[in-house]
Each structure stands twice: as C-alpha cells, then as structure tokens.
Amino acid sequence: MGNTVTKHGVVTGILIALLFIIGIKFYSYDYSNVFLFFYSITVTSVIFFTFFLTYVRYKDISEIIDRKGLRGKLEKPKVSCVLAVYNEEKVISACIQSLIDNTYKNKEIIIVNDSSTDGTRELLSVFSSHKNVKIINLKKNIGKKKAIARGVLMADGEIFVFTDSDCVMAPDAIERVVEIFSYDKSVGAVSGHGRALNAKDNLLTKIQDSWYETQYSVEKAFESAYGSVTCVSGPLAAFRREAIYNYIPAWENDTFLGKEFKFATDRQLTGYVLGSLYIGKNLKKKYADSPFVKNVNYSEREWKVLYCKSARVWTVVPDTMKKLVRQHVRWKKSFIRNLFFTGKFYWKKPVAPALKYYLGALFTIIGPLIALRHLVYLPFQGDALSGVYYLSGIIFVGSLYGIAFKLENPKSSVWVYRPLMSLISTLVLSWLIFYSLLTIKKGVWHRG
C-alpha cells in the first residue's frame, strides 16, 4: 500500500511539473512566432497526456490474470517460436536455451539458419536432438524476412512467438503473453518488455537501458491502453496465427518506392494486424497464389495489439556510437516506410493514440530544425542563452522519464542516465531522419 501511495505521489509530481512548464511557456514565450509557440506547447502537452493517460488507463493483462487466480488455468494453445539466424555464433546459444527453458510447455522452436558462414551451424546442431527444436539449414542466404517466412510455413502453432538471435527471454515470458491471447480472443498481437542484456558494459549501454525501459513502460503502455500498439518489437513479438498468417507473403515481399524493402520491420508486421479490417482483402487478393493464402483464408477483423509489461526479455544493445547510429538509421528507415503504410489507416484508431502517432511523425521531422534554431541560429543572432534554455528543457524532460524508470525499478540506479539519452537523441540521433530519407533505397542491414 505504501509503495502505491508513493507511486501516486511521484506521478502526480511529474504531471504537475509538466503543467508548470506549459504554464511558463504560455506566460513567457514570444508570441510573434505563432508556429514555434504552438509547436512548443503541443510537444509538452503530448508528453503530459502520454504520462497521464498511461498512468490512468494502462493495465497489464498478465497481472490481471494473476490477480484473478487464472495463471495456468486458461487454454494452452500450441506456440511456434520462430527464429532466423545468420552468423550468430557468439550469442545464439543463450537465446535458444532461454526458449527451451521457458515454462510454457506446449511449444515448438523452429530455427532457420540463413546460410551462416561462421560456426553458427555447428552450434545449432547441439540443439537438434531436443524434442521441441527443429533446425532448417538454408543453402542460400535469402534475408531475415524470407527466412522467418520459411519457418512460419512449417509452424503448427496457433500463436507465433518471434525473437531476435541476440535476445534472452525471462523463464515465464512466453507463458505470460500466450495467456493474454487465451484470456481475450480479440487480441491479435502482444509485445513484451525489453531491456538491455549488456547494460553493464559501458556508459552507452547503460544509457540505452534507461531509454528502453521508458520506451516500453510509458510509450508502448500508452498505445496498449487503447489496444493500438504500433510496433510489436522484435525481442519478444507474439502474434495470433489468424491475425498475420495470410499477410506473411506481403510482408516478406514488401516494396517501397519501387524497391524491395529488406528490413524485417517489426512495425510493418504489426501494421498488418492493425490494418486487417482495412487492407486485408486486397492483400490476400494480391498474393492469392501463395500457400499462406490459398491454403487457408482467415477473416479480416479489428484486432487489439497490446503490450505486456511483465513479459521480460533482454537484448544486446550497441556498445559503440557507430553501431548505435547504424541501428537508428535502419529504425528510422522502417519508421518512414511504415508511416506510408500504417499511416494510411491509423487515423481510424482511437483519437488519443492516433493523434499522438501523427503528431509524433511531425515532431520527428521538425524537431531537428527546432534544435538547429535554438542551438545555432539564435546564438549567432546574439541570443547566447537560447541553447542553454533549450538543452535544459531537454534534460528536464529526460529527467521526468528517468523518474518514471525509477518508479518501475526502485532498486536500480540506471534511471540517472535517462537524461543523457535525451541529449544524444537531440544532438545526434534525431538528425538521422534526413540521412535515412535520402538513403531509403539502400537496403544494407547493419545489426546494432
């Protein structure tokens, strides 16, 4: 009871701080530039309502199942864990072992070796004797999406669980997400909660760990409160078979601007679930000859896409700035591509997440230009304090997210690094949107 009261008080403090910032902006901002005034107010207001609505509305369905005493009493559909690997000898064993050791028993594990040239194949052979593990060794490298599609075509499960080869799942992670599907038949996909597996390596990995926490526990929780999560993230992505099976050929053969879009794009796969009711018939018609379509025809429907805070997974994050930049370039390319896909119908979702989705896209494009104005243009015009005020605001908002981290992880000190991620995003990562746009047709995959 005491922890709940404390959490209520801290969250209330965060909301009051955001309202205070909005008030200051109304009182002190230069109204001569109406566009910049409304941009500033809108950004802060979006942050305020994200915190507020997440706190008020989000519920972890898995924890509800626990409180109702339903753990282990719901249906246990067969789960197909599908994993594509390519030259992953350093990390693959821990990933596969975490799938094998998961408490959910009614599962198969399908590993597609996309013609690895290192020692991956030999490592996989160690697991081939396990009764639940199937190894597919491809003779030719075909890319991650097509490799996953090969695995899905062989899968028997009612639920597909995807993960990345550099991830390790908590022992109860699969059980928690699968019981959500059994509890609510309208759920089409569920995202787990990701953190950094190598958080202790250096300062940069600690910073990313603090960012991952709030990207899930605040941002995804907000969308989940409306059943409209826009990205079921790769470290732990669970899908109901009937929600995505017919759209696998569209996903693996996705093109953008007349060129194959090779990235695995978790956002894109999620988009097929969110848009089933609006785009499903046309996609199935386009790929009518594919075994994913002609063998079975699932009806289109409005699916919920949720986030499960208690389903934990850890992923290896970039340990150098160069790797981080490469990762965010491909993420931003996926963001741009998905904006032209999910963006066509996401306005039909509940108002709050839809408004945040489109405003977020606008902020992503305009944000770097606003930073340029405050950090370069205005100082050159004689306003030396402009950059100081701007960066102070960035640090302050980052600190609020850091406090949100601390609320979820009271024994952790990683929360202090969260403001640094806000600075890195503002000064470096946000600018990559322009490079990503200019090189959108360049389909080279770089693992972060």
More confident residue, 443 or 285: 285
Judged by average pLDDT, the poorest of 10-14, 24-28, 261-265, 427-431 is 24-28
Neighbours of 59 (CB within 10 A): 12
12 contact partners, CB below 8 Å, separation of at least 6: none
368 contact partners, CB below 8 Å, separation of at least 6: 430, 431, 433, 434
Whether the pLDDT of residue 423 is over 60: the answer is yes
3-state SS class at 441: coil
Whether the pLDDT of residue 143 is over 80: the answer is yes
More confident residue, 72 or 159: 159
Which structure tokens are listed for 133?
């593990």
Task: Label residue 447 by pLDDT band (50, 70, 90).
Answer: very low
Task: Label residue 24 by pLDDT band (50, 70, 90).
Answer: low
| pLDDT of amino acid 193 | 98
Chain segment 101-114, per-residue pLDDT in tens = 999 999 999 999 99
Residue listed under structure tokens 């609510």: 184
pLDDT exceeding 90 applies to what percent of the chain? 75
| pLDDT of amino acid 29 | 61
| pLDDT of amino acid 2 | 42
Average pLDDT over residues 210-236: 96
- How many angstroms separate the CA atoms of 431 and 38, rounded? 22
Judged by average pLDDT, the poorest of 6-15, 206-215, 433-442 is 6-15
Task: Label residue 30 by pLDDT band (50, 70, 90).
Answer: low
80 contact partners, CB below 8 Å, separation of at least 6: 107, 108, 110, 151, 152, 155, 156, 157, 159, 160, 161
Average pLDDT over residues 185-200: 97
Average pLDDT over residues 252-277: 91
Entry field: residues in the chain: 448
Crossing angle (nearest 10°) for helices 203-214 and 321-339: 30
Torsion from C-alpha of 258, 272, 78, 90, nearest 10 degrees: 50
Average pLDDT over residues 118-134: 91
- In 288-350, alpha helices (H): 291-294, 321-339
| pLDDT of amino acid 263 | 76
Whether the pLDDT of residue 243 is over 60: the answer is yes
Task: Label residue 6 by pLDDT band (50, 70, 90).
Answer: low
Average pLDDT over residues 248-255: 94
Which structure tokens are listed for 157?
């499960």
In CATH, the number for domain 61-342 is: 3.90.550.10
3-state SS class at 186: coil
Torsion from C-alpha of 321, 322, 327, 331, nearest 10 degrees: 90
The residue type at 344: K
| pLDDT of amino acid 95 | 96
pLDDT exceeding 70 applies to what percent of the chain? 94
CA-based nearest residue to 284, from 298, 267, 271, 303: 298
| pLDDT of amino acid 31 | 57
Work out the mean pLDDT of the chain and round it to a whole number.
91
Cα distances (angstroms) measured from residue 176 to each of 95, 111, 167, 242, 256: 18, 22, 17, 20, 35
CB 77 within 8 A of CB 159: yes
Chain segment 350-395, per-residue pLDDT in tens = 999 999 999 999 999 999 999 999 999 999 988 888 889 899 989 9
Average pLDDT over residues 70-88: 94
Task: Label residue 265 by pLDDT band (50, 70, 90).
Answer: confident
Ordered by start, the domain boundaries in the chain are: 2-59+348-438, 61-342
- How many angstroms separate the CA atoms of 310 and 363, rounded? 30
310 contact partners, CB below 8 Å, separation of at least 6: 60, 62, 63, 176, 193
Chain segment 282-337, per-residue pLDDT in tens = 999 999 999 999 989 999 999 999 999 999 999 999 999 999 999 999 999 999 99
| pLDDT of amino acid 5 | 47
Average pLDDT over residues 113-127: 91
CB 218 within 8 A of CB 229: no
Average pLDDT over residues 400-414: 91
Whether the pLDDT of residue 448 is over 60: the answer is no
Task: Label residue 27 by pLDDT band (50, 70, 90).
Answer: low
Residue 134 backbone zone (phi > 0: left; psi -120 to 50: alpha; other: beta) = beta
